Amino acid sequence: MSHVPYATLQERLGIAGSGAIACGLAAVAAGHGEVVLWARSADSRDRARATVDERCDEAQRVRVVGDLDELGEATFIVEAIVEDPAAKVDLLRRIGPLAAGDAIIATTTSSLSVAELAEASGRPERFVGLHVFNPVQRMKLVELAFPPQVNGATRERAFALCEALDKTPVEVPDLPGFVVNRLLFPYLFGAVRLQEQTGLGAEAIDQCMTLGAGHPMGPLALLDFVGLDVAQAIGEAIGVEVPARVRELVAEDALGKKTGRGFYDYSSGNG
């Protein structure tokens, strides 16, 4: 459930998307002001509504809509859909013309070029990469990446939005994977290769890293939490070799926790 607001949101926030990041961001923002969340289909709208209601005491502040034009009233529009470049470009091309003149457009991409997505929006001077982390309500960091054309007001407003949401913004270079994923995924995939080479169980590897290195979650459990399809996409985007075992599990639609099986079996509450 959400906490007592730390600050009133100065932006009218619009979110395009209905997945974990979109709903998590909406739930956090609802503690600070009004939010409009656009979801593509009736089913996705129903799921988003249920997710926000579950996660947020101020869920009534989140209006879930099916008409993209309703985002036109927002002063800060966040694209938060699947990490697929074609899908993001298509949506940003639709959002750009409907956004108000002084509105900022953001993307929650974790691995794609912010400069290229900014161009797709048609307004790179008012664009920002706003990489929040899942679960949004618990993770404090937001990586901010800006295209070369960005103006100073956009930079200031992006920092101010993060701070109003009680997040810690850090400006990072527009490189594939930014900082966290660029450093994290070679480590995660290294754990997969160690398992491939040794046959060591997932739980043993994860216990070594949680108990021996003080990590809050082991690497294989973390891959399951992120989603193996997402992990594969990030690896490909940042130029890190994706282990064969990850590709095999993705091909089997064993994507981790969200599908009930990955490196662990979640079907009976295991893992």
Catalytic residue among 32, 58, 111, 131: 131
Cα–Cα distance between 57 and 138 in angstroms, integer? 15
Residue 248 burial (C-beta neighbours within 10 Å; 0-12, 13-18, 19+): exposed
Cα–Cα distance between 209 and 216 in angstroms, integer? 9
134 in catalytic set: no
- What Å distances lie between residue 38 and 88, 98, 224, CA to CA? 14, 14, 27
Name 84's Cβ contacts closer than 8 Å, sequence gap at least 6.
233
Q: How far is CA 75 from the centre of its chain?
A: 20
41 in catalytic set: no
> ∠ CA(85), CA(91), CA(97), 5° rounding?
135
Q: How far is CA 72 from the centre of its chain?
A: 22
215 in catalytic set: no
Catalytic residue among 79, 83, 110, 119: 110
241 in catalytic set: no
What are the catalytic residues?
A: 110, 131, 143, 181
